[in-house]
Structure 1
Amino acid sequence: MDAYDEDSPARREPDGSRGARRPRGGPEEGPGSGPIAGPRSGPESGPAHDPGSGPEPGPAHGPDPAAHGPEPDPAHGPEPGPEEGAGHPFPRTGLVLLSPRYQVGAAVALAVVAVAACVHLGMVFLSVAPSNTVTKQHGKAIEDWVYPEFEQNWKLFAPNPLQQNIAVQVRAEVRLEDGGLRTTGWDDLSAEDGAAIDGSPLPSHTEQNELRRAWDFFVATHDAGNRPVGTRGALSEQYVRRIALMRLDRDGTDGGTGLIQRVQVRSVTTGVQPPKWSGERISGKPVYRVLPWWTVPAGEAAGGVR
């Protein structure tokens, strides 16, 4: 039935009388009211516009900023996206993506690596630590673990400082022009180095270490009877002999006319006396270590050592 039909009860007025029939398509008006408000789709939802009155009114400078909300503050960075806001957890990463079985396997592997690292650090620590109960009982196991791949050439604590003075001395057998031989006195090479270092703001590396390291090299490669131990014994003898020849040539021991035929080296070791407040007692008697005579090759005797 048509809602605008004359006989329709829907068109009666509140007092029961029938109202006038309104034309179709026009707006319905009630007493004292304007057009019925409500959402409409299409172009009719906006205000009416007269085509002859010019362009439609609108913002003079682009879209209204209020229509899109406040601009983000650059000091606080961009606003969080939908994944970072409340109620949206971050995506899962790492081990949580694995299945429970693989998670257990990864945890076991990490535990094994951690235990192995702790054991290795403990073994290395014991290898450089001073002798103690653990190293005495399990020294073989510690050595098997550390050597040779993880050998450490340092100690956890400073060793006992050297309490000796070691002086290296040399003398030579010189052939004179008349064919005779002359044996020189002992020349203290360590004392010469000490005199060059004392008072020098920048002592040279040679003066400080050359002779000392050469003698340490010789002692480490020879036994108490001055016999070579290992393949580096002959090299250490040649090293000490050449240093002695250079020093003798520099000091003019051959007199400028003779030739050095042989050299002999010895060390003089004296103990450093302890302080007065110490109860320790050390003998002040020097200990000598005299090496055999070394024949000087012809090339070195003629000044071939540089």
Structure 2
Amino acid sequence: MINLSIILPMYNVAGYLEKCVKSVMNTNLGGDSFEIIFVDDESPDNSKIVAKDIIKRYPEYNFKLISQTNKGLGGARNTGIDNAEGDYLIFLDPDDFIVDNNLEETLQNAKSNNLDILEFNATMVNSKGETIQTVKVNSYEKILSGIIYSNLFYCSGSACNKLYSRGFLNQFDLRFMEKVYGEDFEFNTRVFFHASRVKGLNKVVSAFLQSPNSITRNRDIDKKIKYLKDYIKILTNLKSYFSNIEVNQTSDAIIYYKSRMALINTNSFILLIKNKFPTDYALQYRKRLENDDLLFITSEIVIKKKNLVRKFLFQYQGMFFIVFKLNNIIKGTIKLPL
């Protein structure tokens, strides 16, 4: 019986696959109780060859290898969900890996409590394997709805530090947006809204490699512009989605929806500041949000530091302009592509 499906999207990850797969094999999960689903997202490297070799060398484990036309990370994960057989799913990027021996306990906790989502701790490591930071979730023992859980506690935007019930995802037809940056946050916003049984587990289960070339850490201005455009796509999609399911049915749901939208707004403004975008560009971006009714600056955010940024930028009239102008004077301005 397959209790857990581990979904591994593949795109230029040949050098990481072996370590990731072996980290799962080295847990105390029985080989017949889980499956590993490789999704080849039209990878230009030899990831598919490496995956085939792993499958050949370990016939005692359950593997699936699926190839598809490139759909991005979200599309690859959707293919994994559609082909999964496990009661629960875990999404791993191939440069991530499982640590310690907490995966079986985590899975049993989810199953015994019939959870829709179980969130767990994760470490962030550098290329040397050294821990940079630990993503800690709440250790509140009670089972809560996704809305209440998110309104009360910090909830990681990542999809890789959670177990998801496959039946729950299918019940509400929950899938990732394709070919956008920030797909995890958008996905989790809809997922936690529908979840009725959510719990946090104060145990480290996985480690995330923090690469300087990742989407959020690289200095490629074209990728930063795409991220800003994708934030608008995500806001638009969520606004449409929640308007169709009457989000304003309860006050908790309203708080949840507006808080998540406000966090996306704040993240976009932080991206603009950190990457030294010109003041005019920031003002135009804000105007676009206002015109499309996508600006949620009055809503509180659970993450305290992000909430302080939101308040600082919008508490006083003109502060938004002053912050960006001073940032350009002190740090300079990037040159935008024509």
Task: Give the structure-1-normalised TM-score.
Answer: 0.23
Name the structure where strand makes up a greater proportion of residues: 2
Instruction: Normalising by structure 2, report the TM-score.
Output: 0.22
Higher helix share: 2
Q: Does 1 or 2 have the higher relative contact order (CA < 8 Å, sep 6+)?
A: 2
